[in-house]
Structure 1
Amino acid sequence: MRGLIDLRTGVLIAAVIIAAVALPLFVPTYYVQFASKVLIMGVLAMALNLVVGYGGLVSLCHAALFGLGGYALALLSPKYDAVSFWWSFPAAVALSGIAALVIGALALRTRGIYFIMVTLAFGEMLFFGVHDSKFAGGSDGAFIYNKPSIMIGSWAVLDLDKPLTFYFVILALTVAVVAFLSRLVSSPFGRVLKASRENERRARALGFPVFRVRLTAFIISGMIAGAAGYFSAAQFGFVAPQMLGWHLSATILVMVLIGGMHSVAGPLVGAMILIGLEESLKGLTEHWKLIEGIIVIGIVLAMPSGARRLLDMILGSTDRSSDAKPTAEPGHG
């Protein structure tokens, strides 16, 4: 039975990847760009889910880490020339990672509602720091006139100005993030992270370095969020303080809840559902937010485990929301 489920999962994953690769052949350019936006937000949602779903830590500062990645690209880009991807992308990811290190080192000393409030406070500090800074464009934001260049010598490897090329780059990033996070959460590191979510005191009593594991997960999550922010800024050619606001953090958290917190790719599905709803309802009524809210409430009530429950039903597997006990060797920290 287990082998049959694994086979079905493999077939489903292959079908999804084939469909994603073939998508540009059947839809206009607008929808290719829309799909790129969905994938970028899905990467951000998966980054948040690493600390929320697997670490049990509700963060409201991930939009700030996302925005830092975008602002890094804006500040590093010359006004009338393209910045090199090879060094601007690592710089943006590193900036978000450093910010996550500072925030996590302080916020992880708190628990529960206090952790939420501390991350919210840091997020708002970064928001107003950008909002009130003239070098970053202030409340008006900043434009990025040219997308990053991916070149080897004088040879342009990829042209991100082409929507199709940009889409495949984002698709590759999404697949890489899903593969990386899947490997991470199934490793001894991931099992310790889940154990700290289930029972922190017991994990500490067993000798697991809970603080260090959680901080590492928070930094990894922040770096992935920064990568998503970098490509979001590249796609739209514009950054604004709203990228760092708590409203976006709350929206991403809703994507995680809709998709399923105990699934790596679940938040990606949640992003597709939420952004798809928004796109569909905007053209129908000016009160689309009200209808969207009602639909989201209905989805959460009907599927408390998120969209991943549908996958369990398709594959014929049982709900494994509670993770296995960790088998990693105890450490010190």
Structure 2
Amino acid sequence: MNSTPLSLPVSRTSRRGLQASLLPLAVVLLLAALPAFMSSYSADLVLRIMVYAIFALSLELLVGTTGLVSLGHAGFFGIAAYVTVLASGDNAASAFWLLPASMLAAGLYALVTGALSLRTRGVYFIMVTLAFAQMAYFVFHDTPVGGGSDGIFLTSRPVLAIGGATLLDLEKSGHIYYLALACLVGTYALLAAVLRSRFGHALAGIRINEQRMRAAGFNTYFYKLAAFVLAAMLAGVAGFLMAAKNGAVNPELLSWHESGGVLMMIILGGLGSLRGAVLGAVAFVLLKEFYASSAIFGAFAERWQLTLGLTMILFVALLPQGLIGLARRFTRSPEPHHAH
């Protein structure tokens, strides 16, 4: 018996598996080496992309995996950012407890929000999540606790010191860059593990047919609530990094524009893919930076929302599977021809 037809698919599968393992590692190594060759502006741009990539990955767990479209995800992002600034005080606070505190604050608000909003479905769920995010927005916008519309400044960025030795000082651009890279790698690895777990398979089943999952004995409400809280806490990581990066926060971090922006990132990258979420964040931030450049577009750069919106419409029309679908189309190996 000729075993060649059987060996070809196996070798192709193993090759794809090897590529799938090596590509993320190569990207991480590239990001780790970039600061040595970049200007301060370019390093800040890459840092912003990594923060938004974490934010996009957190929403991917809700939308792409569980099928829960939320327009209030920026609420958790902004709450974590505000907690980072408010809890820091006048002296540099320790990142050892400040990051978990920011994540916990986002998770607690998500627990309340999710417990109520997950009792609705479809467009009603979208509107309820938007309403909760807007409530948080107006708390920080209209009360002294958040400094009003101007926001508040971070007096001293977080540090991490052990035994008098400072291991991490987020005042230094290199330190916050590598912290963001570590958080991005950790978020991606965590979600990859979640998707392969029984919990992740249950979430995928809920997205496909929730009624069948309930009939199989799954308490879908608590699965969705757990995903909602986990996604919010991961958004809290991005909020902490954004506050530490900018040294200031304002209510716009909680606005529906921010929620819509991160939703566009995962649509642009391709729903249902962690790599797509990262790719979408890269493309969205770079497109925004490009269209807002007065050196290229002159006075029209002030209307970057218009050009970005038109670009998004074209992408959705021409690439229904997003950028990750385009990448798969170019990297897919041709099927071998078997003679009969």
Structure-to-structure mapping, 1:276-291, within 5 angstroms? 276-283=286-293, 284-285=296-297, 286=300, 287-291=303-307
Q: CA RMSD in A?
A: 1.3
Is the Cα contact below 8 Å between 1:259 and 1:306 reproduced in 2? yes
Which of 307, 318, 327 in structure 2 is aligned with 1:311? 327
Q: Deviations over 1:286-317 (max 9, x none)?
A: 23322222222222222111111133234427
Which of 114, 134, 141 in structure 2 is aligned with 1:131? 141
Question: How far apart in 2 are the matches of 1:310 and 1:129?
Answer: 42
Matching residue's letter, 2:211? R
Structure 2 spans left out of the alignment, 5+ residues: 1-11, 335-340
Aligned length: 317
> Which residue of 2 is the match for residue 73 of structure 1?
84
- Three-state SS of the structure 2 residue aligned to 1:166 is helix
10 and 72 in structure 1: CA distance in 2 versus 1, 3 angstrom threshold: same
Q: Does 1:162 align with 2:166?
A: no
> Which residue of 2 is the match for residue 184 of structure 1?
194
Which of 103, 106, 109 in structure 1 is aligned with 2:113? 103
Matching residue's letter, 2:192? S
Q: Does 1:293 align with 2:303?
A: no
TM-score (norm 2): 0.90
Question: How far apart in 1 are the matches of 2:117 and 2:145?
Answer: 28
Structure-to-structure mapping, 1:181-220, within 5 angstroms? 181-220=191-230
Q: Deviations over 1:170-228 (max 9, x none)?
A: 01100110000011011110111011111111111011121111000000000001111
Which of 239, 244, 258 in structure 2 is aligned with 1:234? 244
90 and 111 in structure 1: CA distance in 2 versus 1, 3 angstrom threshold: same
Displacement of 1:82: 0.7
Is the Cα contact below 8 Å between 1:64 and 1:245 reproduced in 2? yes
Question: How far apart in 1 are the matches of 2:246 and 2:260?
Answer: 21
Q: Does 1:269 align with 2:279?
A: yes
Question: How far apart in 2 are the matches of 1:8 and 1:183?
Answer: 18
- Three-state SS of the structure 2 residue aligned to 1:9 is helix
Question: How far apart in 1 are the matches of 2:28 and 2:99?
Answer: 25
Moved over 4 A (4+): none
- Three-state SS of the structure 2 residue aligned to 1:156 is strand
Matching residue's letter, 2:139? G
Which has the larger displacement, 148-157 or 299-308? 299-308
Q: Does 1:32 align with 2:48?
A: no
- Three-state SS of the structure 1 residue aligned to 2:274 is coil
Matching residue's letter, 2:38? V
Is the Cα contact below 8 Å between 1:5 and 1:316 reproduced in 2? no
Matching residue's letter, 1:52? V
Matching residue's letter, 1:20? L
> Which residue of 1 is the match for residue 19 of structure 2?
8
Question: How far apart in 1 are the matches of 2:215 and 2:270?
Answer: 29
TM-score (norm 1): 0.92
More helix by percentage: 2
Structure 1 spans left out of the alignment, 5+ residues: 319-333
> Which residue of 2 is the match for residue 22 of structure 1?
33
Matching residue's letter, 2:321? S
Matching residue's letter, 1:8? Q
- Three-state SS of the structure 2 residue aligned to 1:307 is helix
Structure-to-structure mapping, 1:79-118, within 5 angstroms? 79=90, 81-118=91-128
Instruction: Give the number of the structure whose alpha-carbon radius of gyration is greater.
Output: 2
193 and 18 in structure 1: CA distance in 2 versus 1, 3 angstrom threshold: same
Which has the larger displacement, 152-161 or 306-315? 306-315
Question: How far apart in 1 are the matches of 2:238 and 2:24?
Answer: 22
Q: Deviations over 1:20-65 (max 9, x none)?
A: 1111122111111111111101101110110111111111111010
Question: How far apart in 1 are the matches of 2:224 and 2:315?
Answer: 30
Q: Does 1:221 align with 2:231?
A: yes
Which has the larger displacement, 108-117 or 309-318? 309-318
302 and 314 in structure 1: CA distance in 2 versus 1, 3 angstrom threshold: same
Which has the larger displacement, 32-41 or 1-10? 1-10
Which has the larger displacement, 262-271 or 228-237? 262-271
> Which residue of 2 is the match for residue 328 of structure 1?
none
Which of 143, 148, 155 in structure 1 is aligned with 2:158? 148
Displacement of 1:231: 0.9
Is the Cα contact below 8 Å between 2:183 and 2:237 reproduced in 1? no
